[in-house]
Chains A and B, each alone.
Chain A
Amino acid sequence: AAGVIQSPRHLIKEKRETATLKCYPIPRHDTVYWYQQGPGQDPQFLISFYEKMQSDKGSIPDRFSAQQFSDYHSELNMSSLELGDSALYFCASSLRRDEQFFGPGTRLTVL
Chain B
Amino acid sequence: AQKVTQAQTEISVVEKEDVTLDCVYETRDTTYYLFWYKQPPSGELVFLIRRNSFDEQNEISGRYSWNFQKSTSSFNFTITASQVVDSAVYFCALSAALNTGFQKLVFGTGTRLLVSP
* Contacts from A to B (Cβ < 8 Å): 31, 33, 35, 41-45, 48, 50, 55-56, 58, 88, 90, 92, 94, 96-102, 104-105, 107
Q: How many A-B residue pairs have CB under 8 A?
A: 52
Known A42-B110, A43-B45, A102-B47; contact A94-B91, beta-carbon cutoff 8 A: no
| A100 touches which of B44, B100, B105, B110 (Cβ 8 Å) | B105
Alpha-carbon separation in the docked complex, A8 to B108 (Å): 27
Residues of chain B within 8 A (CB-CB) of A90 are: 45
B25 CB, min distance to chain A CBs, angstroms: 13
Known A41-B109, A42-B109, A43-B91; contact A56-B45, beta-carbon cutoff 8 A: no
A52 CB, min distance to chain B CBs, angstroms: 15
Does B28 touch A at the CB level, under 8 Å? no
